[in-house]
Amino acid sequence: MQDLPSHIDIHEEGPREGFQFESRIFPLADRVALVDALSETGLRQIQVASFVNPKAVPQMADAGDLFQALRKRPGVRHTALWLNERGFRRAQATPGVDLKASLLLHTSDTFSHRNNGCGAGEMRKEQERWIGMYAEAGLPVEAAYVMTAFGCNFQGDIPLSEVQAVIRWLVDRFEGTKQPLPVIMLADTVGWAVPTEIERRVGAVRDIAPTARIGLHLHDTRGAGMANFYAALRMGVDVFEGSVAGLGGCPFAGHGQAAGNICTEDIVFMAHEMGIETGIDLERLIEAARQAERLIGRALPGRVLRSGSLAGYRT
C-alpha cells in the first residue's frame, strides 16, 4: 500500500459510452454541445465516439460528423474507440480525431467473442498486428486495456493467474523495444470488483511490471465503484476513467442493469476533498453533468450533480 497520489488523471468516457448504451439516437447538435461543455472543465481527454459497425451500433453511425462539429480547445484531446483495423482506419481518416493508440486484451473468451467476434487468444494475436499498425502510423501505444480483469458474467470468476498471464504477455511484447510499456488499464467491465480485489490485482500487476503506470476503468454496477476508487488511490493508482453524471453501461455485459463508469464529478469531488489535484473545475463539471441529465431526459446516478459541491458552504 502506498501514500495517496498528489494528482490523478481522469479521462472522460461519457459521450461515447453513454450515448452508445442508450437505445435512442440523440441529436448531433446536443451531443456536440455536451462535449464542448466538458472541454471547458479542465478535462484533458474525452472519448467522444466509437468507430464501429453502424448496423450493430447505430448510435455511433455519425461519429465522423460529430468529431468535425466539435469546438477544439488547446490541450484537450477528443479520442475515439475502435475494435478492429477498419475502425482505426476510419478514425485515422476523420478530421478532429486525436488518435490514441490502445490495445484490447481479454481474460474471458466468451466476452471477447461477444465484444470482438473472436476468442481472447486470437484477439491477443491481433494486438501484435495492431502494434505494427500503430508503428506504421507513427503512434506510440499509450494504453493496454485488460477487459473483465475482475470477473465475467459469462465465465464467472476470473482467476488472478489469467490477469497475470495477460500482463506477462504484454511485458514480453514491449521488452527490448524502444517503446515504453503502455499504461495498463485494468477494466472492471461488468462490475465484479470489490476493494480487496482492487488491492490484490493491482499489487499482482505491480509485481510483474513494477515500472508500469496502472489505471482503472471501473463500473458501478453493484454500488462498489467509489469504494473501489478509494482502494485504488490507496494503492497509488493515478489514472481513472469516469463518465459524466454516470452515463452509460456495457452493452455486452449480459445483464439488463449495466451501470456506466464511476461518475466523473463524484470522483473529482472526492479527490479534491482528499487533497488530490485533478486540474478539473468541479463547478463547471457539475453543470455539464446537469446538462447531460437534461439531454437524456431522466435522473442519472451521479450524486454531486444533485447535491452540489461544498463550495457554497465555505464562504
Catalytic, 250? Answer yes
List 118, 152, 250, 263, catalytic entry:
250
Distance CA 301, CA 225 (A): 12
Cell of 206: 505491480
The Cα 129–Cα 116 span in angstroms is 15
- Beta strand pairing call for 239-242 and 9-12: parallel
Rounded to whole angstroms, how far apart are CA atoms 10 and 41? 12
* Cα angle for residues 163, 168, 170 (degrees, 5° grid): 95
Q: Which residues make beta-bridge pairs with 183?
A: 143
Sheet holding 9-12, edge to edge: 77-82, 45-51, 9-12, 239-242, 214-218, 183-188, 141-147, 101-106
Torsion of CA 252, 256, 260, 262, to 10 degrees: -120
Just list the catalytic residues.
250
